Chains A and B, each alone.
Chain A
């Protein structure tokens, strides 16, 4: 007379290691792996032009074909991963380094400081991120470093909010009182007790912000405001394919698909990590 017996399928999706985590991890490893590989080895050199080989279709020699200057598309994608991931990573790092301390400060001080920081946060949030990134790079000048700053600024309020929320959810927990009784100051308590307990939140957010960073970098590069030649990036490849899109659409489709897959991969990884690390979704006794 058993009922409500969970089926095999249900238990697979209920398990802590979800399909999205698995898929996200695989995609991320492939994307990051190719980027790292390109530091040591590339199928073809992409800094020299070879006009005789221009606009070749996919072949055994050039797996994805070549562009209008005869450069190997696969090699371009691989080396482009360096720039796209690099800009995304540094931008997220920039956002974390500024945002997390601000969020923790707001949570620790509460009151006026909290209000001031968070309203300023709201102000930054209120601007459409990509539009403002365009404004910033347009005024600072295009380039990899300025892209990092422009995208990074919009990660600051995201991390400030996550860090503040996480820290506030710990406020009033008795182990923080115990630490104060041990004579520890706010800074030490933050490092010893608060940060380790909100680390999983921050990691999940960083993964998701990374995917948005990649997308923003692609956007900036497409408009010519991102990293400049000779640096290759996925967005830049899209930009260069623009004029040829009617008779060589693969030049736009291939980097476009790469961006989609990479962004999807990081997003899935972030979602999967959230499910994995969220104590509310964790089975068993706490």
Chain B
């Protein structure tokens, strides 16, 4: 019998239906994967299961937990159910934990609320829970605060909180999206093991098809608030019916076209870094002590040839963004040399520095934060032309802006509109247009597609590949996503703890990684094809 059943559940904000006629059921010991792009209503459906919809939202239809209707339930009933019977793991562990309470206190609070345990019993249970999720079960660890833990450790604490009362239904909303791949692999394995051992029902929400294929027994595909297709995982992937599911699958497997003609690398590099070093002062522990230093970039040497596309991969905090900012001239290196077109940008001033800066531009990660909301797209794209002030007139300026917009596939009329009028993918096109407008030789792209949905991501990757071939721009492509780097670069550097641990032509590094860290990174990436092949072998 289904433990949790959604029947024709619709969710409204005012008069707009954000989720329409959702019908799903979960049985004990089963993992149901809910997949879809942003705005498809996945998270709202999860919140509805806990009756935690935002203020002003309304629902119709039925939602039953072990036969009990929840859409009518008042807070008194829901408070008893939440945590004890139905529990949830959120995407961002930092904001899911209380920053001013130790993790031990937070676990104890949950245990106390539901079981009225004594302090001693509670502590024993909390220690067991920490061990259960793979953390050190000591009193010292219980006294730590969220900010003293790494991302993976925090998510383990969040899981410990969610399973503290042995709930029958666990809802995980993108539980690994904010984590690095190696940590993601650990967290997914932990979740899988817990669900199996405790025979929980898991509703697993993700935008990542590979992760879903790995985790779920059954999969439901959501689009615009509706379930377009659902079925057992292998069956669904192998005999996909709905056009949207097929499109989603195609987009997540999508690889941008390879170079049309082979790249000839000349003798003089476009950009050369020699033993570059950059460190930060960390907050002082004690007033009279010297502030400790964190070395973000440690003796990094790197060459990028004209028209070459170089990837830089590594997990969060490895120093790749600091390196990018140094290359862009936004941060001064403390040691080492950097030369672009045989000149050191940090030794130049005024007009000559601007002339050099014209050759390096950037595309940033966040398609929302990278524009001044009060400037039109035309003004935004024209901004780097300030580097050419005095060299081009107004007509040339306008021509360049329109040319840049056209070359990224946007209409010329876009120039008069404001960034908020565009979707995430279109905004990233605007960001690329801004980088192209000075006709640079090198574009530094810092995680340019990681904030985008898969179908949009595929389009932007195609665009970048097209620019690489058509305009002959060199790229320094920074990403934590190995598949993206593999698809679009000629040469790749793997960075770990401030150092480049392995580098080589992309094909070679990916097919025969030499450094253990590269191997670890590669093995941690969930691969859709491999997962499905393994499933076919066991028959479900």
- A-to-B contact residues, CB < 8 Å: 1-6, 14, 173-175, 177-184, 192-193, 196-197, 285-286
Contact = CB atoms under 8 A, between A and B. Distances in A.
Interface stretch (B228-236, B358-366, B498-506, B510-518): B358-366
B53 A174 contact: no
B531 interface: no
14 contacts: A3-B59, A4-B57, A174-B364, A174-B365, A177-B325, A177-B330, A178-B362, A178-B364, A181-B329, A181-B360, A183-B353, A193-B372, A197-B372, A197-B373
B316 to A, nearest CB: 16
B374 A174 contact: no
Given A3-B71, A4-B53, A177-B330, 17 more contacts: A1-B59, A1-B61, A2-B58, A6-B56, A174-B365, A175-B371, A175-B372, A177-B362, A177-B370, A178-B384, A180-B330, A181-B330, A181-B362, A182-B383, A196-B372, A197-B373, A285-B420
B13 to A, nearest CB: 10
A240 B434 CA distance: 65
Nearest to B360: A181
Contacts of A177: 325, 328, 330, 362, 364, 370
B190 interface: no
Contacts of A183: 353-354, 357, 384, 386-387
Interface in B303-348: 325, 328-330
- Name which of A174, A181, A182, A196 has the most chain B CB atoms within 10 A of its CB: A181
Contact of A4 (B56, B329, B373): B56
Contacts of B360: 181
- Most chain B CB within a 10 A radius of its CB, from A1, A179, A184: A1
A137 to B, nearest CB: 40
A61 B347 CA distance: 80
Nearest to A179: B383
B369 interface: yes
Nearest to B365: A174
Contacts of B330: 177, 180-181
Given A175-B370, A180-B330, A197-B372, A5 B353 contact: no
Interface of B: 12, 14, 53, 55-62, 71-72, 325, 328-330, 353-354, 357, 360-362, 364-366, 368-374, 380, 383-387, 420, 434
A77 B495 CA distance: 73
Contact of B383 (A2, A6, A178): A178
Nearest to B61: A1
A6 B56 CA distance: 6
A2 B420 CA distance: 33
B75 to A, nearest CB: 12
Contacts of A197: 372-374
Top 8 nearest A-B pairs by Cβ distance?
A174-B370, A174-B364, A182-B384, A183-B354, A182-B383, A183-B387, A182-B386, A175-B372
A3 B368 contact: no
Nearest to A14: B56
A6 B12 CA distance: 11
A69 to B, nearest CB: 54
A39 to B, nearest CB: 35
A197 B373 CA distance: 8
Contact of A178 (B56, B59, B62, B434): B434
Contacts of A5: 58
A199 to B, nearest CB: 9
Contacts of B57: 4
Nearest to A285: B420
A173 B383 CA distance: 16
Given A4-B58, A181-B357, A193-B372, A286 B420 contact: yes
A26 B106 CA distance: 49
Contact of A173 (B61, B369, B420): B369
Contacts of B380: 175
Nearest to B371: A175
Given A4-B56, A14-B56, A197-B373, A184 B386 contact: yes
A175 B420 CA distance: 14
A3 B62 CA distance: 12
A184 B386 CA distance: 7
B328 A181 contact: yes
B388 to A, nearest CB: 9
Contacts of B61: 1
Contacts of B374: 196-197
A5 B61 CA distance: 15
Contacts of B383: 178-179, 182, 184
B387 A182 contact: yes
B361 A174 contact: no
Contacts of B387: 182-183
A2 B328 CA distance: 55
Contacts of B384: 178, 181-183
B371 A181 contact: no
A51 B63 CA distance: 82
A3 B58 CA distance: 6
A192 B14 CA distance: 38
B362 A1 contact: no
A165 to B, nearest CB: 18
A192 B370 CA distance: 15
A286 to B, nearest CB: 7
Nearest to B446: A174
Contacts of B368: 286
A285 B16 CA distance: 14
Contact of A175 (B56, B71, B369): B369
Contacts of B58: 2-5
A252 B402 CA distance: 67
A153 B12 CA distance: 52
A184 B62 CA distance: 58
A141 B179 CA distance: 65
